[in-house]
Amino acid sequence: MTVTDEAILKIKEMILGGQLKAGERLPPEKELSEQLGLSRSSLREAVKALEIIRVLDVRRGDGTYVTSLEPRLLAEAVAFVTDLHQDTSVLELFEVRRILEPAAAAIAARRISGDQLAMLKASMATVRNDTSVEDLVAHDLEFHRIIAQASGNSYLASLLDGLSGRTVRARIWRGLTEERAVARTIDEHAAIAAALGAGDSELARSLLTVHISGVENWLREAI
């Protein structure tokens, strides 16, 4: 673990322990570095990383504040960025998803039932442009799970469910940092659902490929 990773983890513990609360200003750099037992340069690197993912808000001339996001989401984002410093295998997970999920969608377009289409629409109805990151990710997981199940292949559905669950932090981080993440997800999901409803296997395959590739490309640039 690098010194910067250690600094990120220590700030995370302060958030989880309630020493730093949403909307609260961090102590001055010198004081905080001494409190955490870190050099000021390591602390600056950690703050910079946490500012990028919007866990911290650096206000020039005023100080550094914890953002107003829920503590659990802040903790998820911090944990994810620490993991990325140590292991970039999440990119490999997205590569596998990009191979398998479009194939599942193509099969699902031929097999999806009326009830399953209704479930997709009901899930989409739970998200709007002002939906929280947490609710967006919950919807995204459910949406992809329904499609995998609609393929009628229980082995494929089980495999995709396991892969999807291991990319939750990446989805949260994207929701925290990318502009229009909610609107983009809503639009792409609507197009995918329409292709499935029309029974168009190739269109469903193409749309899922673009959908997952977008997240994968964003992640490559982010790290």
Summarised one tens digit per residue, pLDDT across range 98-118 is 999 999 999 999 999 999 999
Q: Are 124 and 190 in contact (CB under 8 A)?
A: yes
Which DSSP symbol is given to 17?
T
Q: The domain at 90-222 falls in which architecture?
A: Up-down Bundle (1.20)
Instruction: List, by residue range, all CATH 1.10.10.10 domains of the chain.
Output: 3-86
Q: What is the pTM of this model?
A: 0.68
Looking at residues 193-216, what average pLDDT do you find? 96
Looking at residues 70-96, what average pLDDT do you find? 70
Distance CA 46, CA 31 (A): 15
Q: Say what the pLDDT of residue 53 is.
A: 65
pLDDT, one tens digit per residue, over 14-70 is 877 778 887 888 888 889 888 888 888 888 877 877 776 667 888 888 888 887 666
Distance CA 95, CA 102 (A): 12
94 has pLDDT over 80: yes
Containing H/E element for 68? Answer: none
Q: Say what the pLDDT of residue 9 is.
A: 76
If one counts every other C-beta atom within 10 angstroms of the C-beta of residue 55, the result is: 26
Looking at residues 190-214, what average pLDDT do you find? 97
pLDDT, one tens digit per residue, over 110-145 is 999 999 999 999 999 999 888 877 788 889 999 999
Phi-psi region of 116 (alpha: psi -120 to 50; beta: other; left: phi over 0): alpha
Q: Say what the pLDDT of residue 154 is.
A: 95
Instruction: List, by residue range, all CATH 1.20.120.530 domains of the chain.
Output: 90-222
Beta strands (DSSP E) in the chain are 56-59, 63-66
Q: The domain at 3-86 falls in which architecture?
A: Orthogonal Bundle (1.10)
Mean pLDDT of the chain: 85
Distance CA 136, CA 125 (A): 11
176 has pLDDT over 70: no
Distance CA 21, CA 183 (A): 29
